[in-house]
Structure 1
Amino acid sequence: MATKGMVPRPTINHTGFPTEVRSHSHPFGQVHLPKKTMTPKQSLVNFASVAAPSMGAAAASTSYDYNLACFWREIQGLNNWEDLVEPLHPLLRKEIIRYGEFVAACYKAFDLDPNSKRYLNCKYGRRSMLREIGMEDCGYQVTKYIYATPDIDIPIPNGESCGRWIGYVAVASDDAVRRLGRRDIMITFRGTVTNPEWITNLMSSLTPARLDPYDPRLDVKVEAGFLSLYTSDENDKFGLGSCRQQLLSEVSRLLKEYKGEDVTITLAGHSMGSSLAVLLAYDIAELGLNRKEMDGEIPVTVFSFGGPRVGNSAFKERCEDLGVKVLRIVNVNDPITKLPGVFFNEKFKVLGGKFELPWSCSCYAHVGVEIVLDFFNMQNPSCVHDLQTYIGLLKCRKIARMQKDGDRVDFLDRASELFLSAHNINMFPWIEVASNMVNMFQSQRT
């Protein structure tokens, strides 16, 4: 069993907030997009002014729904989030937070009590899960739970192979469709918790993905551990099938059920879960499940929180060619976002990038557009990877502005009030992952 521990809440006095949210966009390859008549910055209504504090909550919510219903394609990455990440557009910010909270639901509902009959599974039934964790008004209905087990040969005490609950599939209700402007099929994944999952994360060798049986594309390689977790058939003994089989079957079923509607496929995950989200997005696009019978494709978008690299440069290029959109939210102090490929990655160049070494194709590469946060807590180093801290920072528009104005005393008071407010953030402890995260972080600093 993994060592259990309680992660203390971050002390706000020791947390550094950015004066602004920085973004780094990685150029997409041969992605052919419709010709724009105006930029998103010109077309999107200034949501910040619409939802000003002087406006009532109901009016602000109505305006938010109207904007999202009109411009959901840009928010889903139609133009690679051009002009939306620097500065971070309020409408995009709210959508990132919304999907982040759906991922946080995985942790809140995950049963870590070894004495429980539902140990390492969801505490609640599929129909009641969102209601039980306080998200009954989220506008989504859970349609399937997803289970995954890594295929590893290393004996682990109390780590026998069995289906672990890894996330869920949900679909927007009819009422939510009117607000969102489309039928959203959402898949969310939690991060690493169990010992077998931590060992899977350390299997950092690259291996061909081979997800398309008709075109294996041996040059497209991904991290072996993530691929094992995604494709392992260890769950067959429980009648579940692999994580991949469960997901592709449910996505195909929902696409058939909502055929003829405007549909999006949105994947969101934290840490290891973001890797599974990227793998699934690539798999869906590579198999062509998102292709419409006539013309066009159903948008496939990933919101990644604190995610590691998934594959090599060929994998990155293939995702771009297929039109997979990935928005990565990272903390510059989070070591997980720098793994695997700490030294040999997309930034590794020889002689100013003029020459490539024979092993350049084996370098890991991040996929997509990046939004960078900057926070650290000396008293609680593991907070650099904590999902709730990520979400809390994204909610701190006023904090960033106050720090920029140099009002430090007022900044600390307001920051403490904001972070401790149950309305803005509901911090919950990581149990098994805490000590692992601290050890990993300290090893990266030495």
Structure 2
Amino acid sequence: MSGAELGQMNGYLPPEIYQKILELAAQEFTQKITATTNTPHNGQARKNRFLASILGLDKSTYNYLKRLTWHRLKIHFSGEIQPTDVREFEDLQRIFDANKSFTRVIDLSITAPLSNYRMGNISEFEDSIAATALLKVVSQMFQRAPKSQIREVLLYLGFTMVDLDDTSTLYWKELDRMMTSIGNFKKLTSFRFITGLSMQVLESELGWIISHLPNLECVLLWCTTGFMNTGHIRKPKVDLGEALATRTQLKSLEVRELVSPNINWLKLDWKGPLQNLCFETNCESEISNPLVDEHLLSFSHLFRKTLTSLSFIKMYTEANEDEKSMARDFSSLRSVRYFGDIDYLSVFAVCPNVQNLTLIEYNQEDLSAFASECFPNGLRWPKLKTIELSQIETYGHLSLPNCFLKCLRDHSIELKVIDFPDVLNPSDAMVDISSTVSL
């Protein structure tokens, strides 16, 4: 069976069956070549010789499978790190070295606790050694990846780190090497960096990385606690805003809970044809951000000719006349995702082409006010077709006010109830076939 015939088969089989056939066949063929004994790739593949013989794998089919299975290198790890985990990743690294020419996407998610081992606890000290060894293996895979071929990097680091002292120097060096290697992927078009808990990386270091990636089209930066300077990773400081503004192909920018955005971003010469913009801060934070709190619409206005999707938080701020006037200029805006005071939405009611509105937080009073204030006549929301309401557990089974439902019927607007639309979770990314490790 040739690669072309295998591709035609894809149109006749259910996707899950087709994927399983490819997975088992590719694993079987991989184990013949790599001569490894027990790697995450092989699993039960040694028992599937019959399947491989049915497929009649020839070289062209083998290469076809390789392109599929190694296109996305997906490594997801959670839980306590053990020495056996490190050995399995070392096995994966050897197989990756033999197949890395097919890789275009690196999807890494590591969520593992790193304990404070100052107290001399031997088991915690061993855990830290295993964590460093694991990161070293992953870092080497980043460094060995073909620099001119990688198009996307999704990096989710959910480590829990508390007061790491100087004995963690090796760990920080490996993290530094891994982050630095991303700047070598000159053809990278998508960079998503997500970190939770106490991951400590400077935002200026992200600026340094982005400044080395001229072809970026999509950038997502999200930190749940704010970045902190530990002094362990040192790079030349590059202003994050300036790095982003000079990306000439930037189409999508999502910035969540960072501290870098500031009023000076309004003065930058933004080069990219931005189509999607998401700006969200921590609603519970006591630290205000003037750009987000007071000038977000002015910032969005910089991209009024190209912006099609806008997602933002606006808390307890009334819209002024200047903002209402600016909203009319968003001729390309099609979708608004909003979290905050419902009254502020009146600003976007005059946008000429908004078709989809997503409300993240609401109550009955909000929806009633929306119906009465945002739809006094046909001049507001002239193109609105869909309203999405997030299903938030804290509200339980919230009954919708009749006036709101009537408003939707009268204006032929479709209502959808969706799960809470949060940031892309690495586990929701495209599932690869055999280049996936979940330990």
TM-score (norm 1): 0.31
For the pair shown, the structure with the greater C-alpha radius of gyration is: 2
TM-score (norm 2): 0.31
| Greater RCO structure (CA 8 Å; 6+ sep) | 1
